[in-house]
Amino acid sequence: MDTLEALARLARKACEEPVPVFDVADGVRLRIRSEKSASFTWIPLGLFGGVSAVAASITLFLAIEFWKYMSSPVMELVAPLPEMRLW
Amino acid sequence: MENTDWSDVVASRNGDEDAYARLVRRYEKPITSLLWRFTRDPVQCEELVQQVFVDAYFSLKTYRGDAPLLHWLRKIATRTGYHFWRDKAREPAETPLPDSDLLEQIEAAQDDEIDPAEAATVLHALLARLPADDRLVLTLMYFEECGTQEVAERMGWSRAKVKTQALRARRKIKEIAEREHLLERLGWIL
């Protein structure tokens, strides 16, 4: 008999094997509950991350706009701050 | 699709835990039967069955109901089992072929007297020597009697890939079986 044919026959025999029986409904219910509660705690964190990213983008946009209107950005950086009366 | 399945799916989507428990009880047996082909450790198998139903719960909104629920669950189970193998492949361990006592016992018996569990042990040990992709194709073909089309659908692979994979996997397992002199050791099968 060919090896592959023999393996197929072995497989047919193996298919008659009794399979264990589990009752997973309660375990599944518990895992779903725990994953749901875990996902709830992630929402505020995700929201905070999203708001931070938007704020950072706005700041970057304003900084670039300001940078474009500087006549000499390097000189502006090293030049002393103009004295100004605050009160 | 059965109306009871669909009504339980809709109820589960709306948060009815009892409806989902009914679906789990209805299909845990065929899903266990499939996942038993991926691990022969009852604890791991139960863990995988649970994983399948948890994943299915969180994907229920993607189930459109155009195919029987069991087909959809089997697809999830096959992928879960495949990922389980892929994760296990990172651990360097090879499943040994059964000890000589078991092989002698099989050899001595007539075909009808062979314990199917022992036949499964031998076959699993052989299949475990293949890479995950090859092993999956042969497992589905041998144990689930899937054709190339069904394997392709379950895994989201092309049919051409499955055909090539099956050809390669058969060649590899033949080489392994011949190297181990399996046929001589399993005299009953000749």
Same domain, B150 and B178: yes
Residue finishing a domain among B70, B93, B116: B93
Instruction: Enumerate residues 35 to 54 of chain A having a beta carbon within 8 A of any beta carbon in chain B.
Output: 35
Same domain, B4 and B58: yes
Q: Give the closest-approach CA distance of B86 to chain A in angstroms.
A: 23
Same domain, B101 and B188: yes
Nearest beta carbon to residue B46 from set A8, A16, A22: A22
Exposure b/e, B97-130, CB count within 10 A at least 16 = b: bbeeeebebbeeeeeeebbeebbbbbbbbbbbbb
Instruction: Enumerate residues 51 to 80 of chain A having a beta carbon within 8 A of any beta carbon in chain B.
Output: none
For B137, the token pair is 């194709």
Exposure b/e, A30-63, CB count within 10 A at least 16 = b: ebbeeeeeeeeeeeeeeeeeeeeeeeeeeeeeee
pLDDT at position B94 over 90: no
Looking at residue B183, what is its pLDDT? 65
Q: Which residues of A touch B122 (CB under 8 A)?
A: 10, 14
Same domain, B16 and B76: yes
Same domain, B42 and B81: yes
Residue finishing a domain among B41, B59, B93: B93
Task: Tell me which of A2-6, B6-10, B150-154, B157-161 is least confident.
Answer: A2-6
Question: Considering the domain boundaries, does residue A43 fall inside one?
Answer: yes
Nearest beta carbon to residue B173 from set A7, A22, A25: A7
Domain of B169, in residue numbers: 95-190
Q: Give the closest-approach CA distance of A52 to chain B in angstroms.
A: 29
Same domain, B53 and B31: yes
pLDDT at position B184 over 70: no
Residue finishing a domain among B50, B76, B93: B93
Query: Which pLDDT band, with edges at 50, 70 and 90, does B27 fall under?
Result: very high
Asked if B120 and A27 come within 8 Å (Cβ–Cβ), the reply is no
Q: State chain B's mean pLDDT as an integer.
A: 86
Question: Considering the domain boundaries, does residue A48 fall inside one?
Answer: yes
pLDDT mean over A7-22: 89
Domain CATH number, residue B18: 1.10.1740.10
Query: Which pLDDT band, with edges at 50, 70 and 90, does B103 fall under?
Result: low
Count H helices and E strands in chain B, helices first. Answer: 10, 0
d(CA A47, CA A41): 11
Same domain, B84 and B125: no
Question: Considering the domain boundaries, does residue A57 fall inside one?
Answer: yes
pLDDT at position B176 over 80: yes
Catalogue the E-assigned strands of chain B.
Answer: none
Same domain, B124 and B84: no
A14 inside 8 A of chain B by CB: yes
Looking at residue A72, what is its pLDDT? 76
Same domain, B112 and B74: no
pLDDT at position A64 over 90: no
pLDDT mean over B121-136: 90
Same domain, B118 and B140: yes
Domain CATH number, residue B105: 1.10.10.10
Asked if A6 and B49 come within 8 Å (Cβ–Cβ), the reply is no
Same domain, B74 and B8: yes
Domain of A58, in residue numbers: 34-63
d(CA B84, CA B76): 12
Q: Measuring CA to CA, which residue among A68, A74, A6, A11 is closest to residue B123?
A: A11
Question: Considering the domain boundaries, does residue A51 fall inside one?
Answer: yes
Question: Considering the domain boundaries, does residue A6 fall inside one?
Answer: no
B171 inside 8 A of chain A by CB: no
Give the torsion sign (CA, A14, A20, A26, A30): negative
Number of domains in chain B: 2
pLDDT at position A30 over 90: yes
Nearest beta carbon to residue B54 from set A1, A14, A32: A32
B43 inside 8 A of chain A by CB: no
pTM of the model: 0.74
Q: Which residues of A touch B116 (CB under 8 A)?
A: 13-18
Question: Considering the domain boundaries, does residue A16 fall inside one?
Answer: no
Number of domains in chain A: 1
Same domain, B89 and B99: no
For B35, the token pair is 């996942």
For B48, the token pair is 């995988």
Q: How many residues does chain A have?
A: 87
Asked if A35 and B54 come within 8 Å (Cβ–Cβ), the reply is yes
Which is more confident, B163 or A40? B163
Query: Which pLDDT band, with edges at 50, 70 and 90, does B99 fall under?
Result: low
Do B52 and A33 meet the contact criterion of CB atoms below 8 Å apart?
no
Task: Tell me which of A59-63, B27-31, B65-69, B86-90 is least confident.
Answer: B86-90
Query: Which pLDDT band, with edges at 50, 70 and 90, does B44 fall under?
Result: very high
